[in-house]
Amino acid sequence: MKKLFPAALLSVGILAATVTQAQKASTAYQTQGQTVRIKTKAADLQIQVFSPNTVRVLRFPVGSKATKTSLSVNKAPDKTPFETAEAGGVITVKTALLTVSLNRQTGLVSFATRGGKSLLQEGAQDSLFVPTTDNGQPAYRVQQRFKLSAPEGIYGLGQFQDGIMNWRNHAVKLRQLNQYVANPFLVSTAGYGILWDNYSATVFRDNAAGASFSAALGDCSDYYFVYGQTMDGTVAGYRTLTGAAPMFGKWVFGFWQSRERYKSQDELLDVVKKYRALRVPLDNIVQDWQYWGTDNHYWNSTEFGNPNFPHPQAMVDAVHALNAHLMISVWPSFGDKTAIFKDLNQAGLLYDFKNWPTDGGVRVYDAFSPKARDILWGYMDKNLFSLGMDAWWLDASEPEQFDREGKMDSTQTALGTYRRVRNAFPLQHNKGVFEHQRAASSAKRVFILTRSAFAGQQRYGAATWSGDIQGSWEVLRKQISGGLNFSLAGIPYWTTDIGGFFTGKTYPLGVADPAFQELYVRWFQFGAFSPLFRSHGTDTPREIYQFGNKGDWAFDAQVKFIDLRYRLLPYIYSLSSKVTRQGYTLMRGLPMDFNADPKVFSIDNQFMFGPSVLVSPVTTAQYSTKGADATQKGSTDFSTIKSQSLYLPQSAGWYDFWTGEKLTGGQTISRPTPIDVMPLHIRAGAILPLGPVVQYAAEKFTAPLELRVYPGANAEFTLYEDENDSYNYEKGAFATIPLRWNEKTQQLSIGKRTGTFPGMAATRSFHVVFVKGTHGAGLGTTIKADRVVQYNGSALTVSK
């Protein structure tokens, strides 16, 4: 068969084992290194052992000479011991944890534990490889089917807007578009995951015939089976294969203000100054598009060509002087009068399909080309990074395009046709920016906000938001399942436009309409418990002072949740370290923590935020009514406090965060939802570290911490601290303090501190609170401590 991938992608592949004719005749399989090769009637099959819990299954058409190197997987197989055997027509490959079996008669692979417990089986299908063409050349559509067990739930695959949480008995097209993010990693409640390693548009479908991946193009069927035993272990296994998520600066977890767009540097600076004057916390201000000017021929020049930004260096310096950070928008497309366009065009590194904007000769660059990525960073570095920009907003990283078939599909990239590799565009685009900035400086951690993502993108310091969504209650509800499945697909950092990007159709009066204000406040509360907390949108401004003044309900409700978010930063930042070091997930679908409770498998409107906090967003209007028509404001009625039903998963119990009341798990309850309260419950057996109210994340980071202990079960938490930015943590410049609650002895142990870093406080004051029903545990900045202890790094014990 003719190679369909270009040499640039395929030159480093899996080399066929050299075996003698005698060996071929005497055995049904050959082993070389970590690979077992088996010929079946349908395909040349390879089973690669990556680790005791991870194997790769690779099939090529019989006699194919093609090879495959992954764009997503950057890990080589470990030298893992394994055993092979053949009996009764079945070839087995056994590791310390897994048994992988191939039935030679059917050609199907099955997976079981080392002890024989069945995990997953491939399902029969008409053909693995269906002939087609790729830009006139022979090619294949590739399919792979699996048989799932009846009770298991399956999650992940990326971010979608259909409100589906559990993919059982559903189908979805994995293709990058605005609002839709394809990441073909599937995780099961049975403790395993499947990474489908293909970069073309793929349909996933689960029905009576089984669960299947069907890719538009491919030279082979290529997937990784990860047996993590738990869903957390499986996601961690995915990150082991595809790369750890590096830490972000602590400021990233604070509050961001943005809009489409700030039209001058004075306007942008005034926003930061107003937040500081109001003493409302803020860590990031975002400059969206057109800082380069309004003529699309100069689209995305990466230069401040707009006369309303006459002194960009002074603007950046002023933001920093206000203890805030500045993020700026960069697209993967360029107007035909920009210098970067000319350089890319001269090198033949621009695509020729239609994209937005459609005027100005705007064209997308070839992100699959290392040279093109070099050119892009050269301009970003010279024009923006040199000014001290703190972060990148890589907008439209699908990329934005209109020729969704035909000309776009046949466009050539550095790695083959666009149709063949389209889903991996955001992976390569983010790779270029991350790797270049890391090479340029270690003084600040790379942070990228990007509209699309693909398997492995977490290793490039990238987070994703849910795209240009509409502002409505229905869409708010769907953000929850969208964000959860994105996180379950292995990429830990996600966010949404608070209030929805577009509001003009649903709330044409915007922020002046009390009906929109209620939607925004409830979305804001959800945003405060998303991995990243940001306000952004068009049609109406979103700054907090647009909603009134202190004493106005919409203003006060936002302040309450901004302050709560900043108080939670010790918890969030510690968990971000766990994300990096242990492959943890911050925004957690309920099956991750309550796998033994099948009632949670399809709950799509609640989630865990870290190990301790159960979040139940309010996703319906309770106090407002829309106006009779678009010209009229809605009205509000707060005379009666409304309530919301929610489910408390089976556990040792739960505490209402706002009242301290202890409740029994495994039941549906109703909780009051005044406009400034979103139901939050803390797991019995939790330790929740809280900091002071601050104006920005790094302020007062050595101040006393409150340690809230929620009795009912044993608990542990590791408090993590470092310099708050830079990559010195990779060199060991960080400290950890283990915290443990013993339910039997009713004692909190604050363990010996490990590690050190510049600026670390030698001693700390901990205000310990043993939560009980008499506490109003979230209604003030602090509550009275049961014990106050001084900690100098040595272990100590605090009794209740």
pLDDT digits (tens, 9 = 90+) for 741-794: 999 999 999 999 999 999 999 999 999 999 987 655 454 456 889 999 999 999
Q: Where do the domains of the chain lie?
A: 7-152+192-227, 289-446, 683-799
Q: Which CATH superfamily is domain 683-799 in?
A: Golgi alpha-mannosidase II (2.60.40.1180)
Q: Catalytic residue, from 152, 219, 390, 398: name it.
A: 398
Instruction: For 702-729, give one letter per residue: b (16+ CB within 10 A) or e.
Output: eebbbbbbbbbeebebbbbbbbbbbbeb
Burial class of residue 589, CB neighbours in 10 A (0-12, 13-18, 19+): buried
What lies within 8 Å, CB to CB, of 608 at 6+ separation is: 588, 589, 590, 592, 593, 614, 615
Specify the 3-state DSSP secondary structure of 718.
strand
Following CA atoms 432, 433, 439, 442 in sequence, which dihedral angle do they give, to the nearest 10 degrees? -150
- Closest to 433 measured CA to CA, from 491, 490, 385: 385
In angstroms, the CA 667 to CA 712 distance is 17
* Secondary structure (3-state) at 787: strand
DSSP string, 613-658: EEE----S-SSEE--SSTTS--EE--SS--EEEEEE-SSS-EEETT
List the structure tokens of 267: 């306007």
Q: State phi, psi for 501 to the nearest 5 degrees.
A: -65, -55
Of 661, 709, 701, 703, the closest CA to residue 685 belongs to 709
Q: For domain 289-446, which architecture applies? A: Alpha-Beta Barrel (3.20)
Could you tell me if residue 163 is left (phi over 0), alpha (psi between -120 and 50 degrees) or otherwise beta?
left
- What percent helix, strand, coil does the chain show, rounded to 5? 25, 30, 45
Strand locations in 434-567 (E): 448-450, 462-465, 494-495, 533-535
- Specify the DSSP class assigned to residue 731: G
Residue carrying the six token digits 């909603």 = 547
User: Which phi and psi (to 5°) does residue 580 adopt?
Assistant: -75, -45
Give residue for tokens 């907090």: 544
C-alpha triplet 783, 787, 793: angle, nearest 5°: 115
Can you name the residues that pair with 608 across neighbouring β-strands? 588, 614
pLDDT score for 9: 36
**CB of 726 within 8 A of CB of 442?**
yes
Low-confidence ranges of the chain (pLDDT < 50): 1-26, 777, 779-780
Cis peptide before 141 (omega within 30 of 0): no
Which of 791, 789, 534 is CA-nearest to residue 799? 789
- How far apart are the C-alpha atoms of 537 and 267, rounded to whole Å? 16
Identical fold between 7-152+192-227 and 683-799: yes
Residue 398 annotated to the active site: yes
Task: State the DSSP string of 401-445.
Answer: -S--STHHHH-EETTEEHHHHGGGHHHHHHHHHHHHHHHH-SSS-
Q: For residue 44, with 0-12 CB atoms within 10 Å meaning exposed, 13-18 middle and 19 or more buried, which class applies?
A: middle
Query: Are 281 and 696 contacting, i.e. CB atoms less than 8 angstroms apart?
Result: yes
Confidence (pLDDT) at 19: 34
Candidates 206, 395, 656, 722; catalytic one: 395
The structure tokens listed for 440 are 């340029």
Measured between alpha carbons, how far is 515 from 208 in angstroms, rounded to an integer?
Answer: 44
Q: Pick from 253, 133, 333, 347: which is nearest to 694 by CA?
A: 253
pLDDT of residue 737: 98
395 in catalytic set: yes
Entry pTM? 0.96
- Of 524, 501, 397, nearest in space to 452 by CA: 397
Report, in angstroms and rounded to the nearest whole number, the Rg of the chain calculated over CA atoms.
Answer: 27
Question: CA-CA distance, 534 to 544, in Å (whole number)?
Answer: 12
Q: CA 581, 583, 587, 590 torsion: positive or negative?
A: negative
pLDDT tens digits along 172-229 = 999 999 999 999 999 999 999 999 999 999 999 999 999 999 999 999 999 999 999 9
The confidence score (pLDDT) of residue 773 equals: 74
Residue type, 644: Q
Out of 468, 661, 676, 699, the active site residue is 468
The CATH code of domain 7-152+192-227 reads: 2.60.40.1760
Residue 415: CB partners within 8 Å, gap ≥ 6? 5, 6, 8, 9, 71, 368, 421
Q: Pick the closest to residue 618 from 479, 780, 775 (CA basis).
A: 479
Please report how many Cα atoms fall inside a 13 Å half-sphere around the Cα of residue 349, on the Cβ side. 22
Instruction: In whole angstroms, give the CA distance from residue 408 to residue 354.
Output: 8
Which of 480, 488, 484 lies closest to 455, judged by CA? 488
Are the C-beta atoms of residues 54 and 241 closer than 8 Å to each other?
A: yes
Structure tokens at 151: 């009770």
Instruction: Show the CA angle centred on residue 60, arms to residues 57 and 63, nearest 5°.
Output: 140
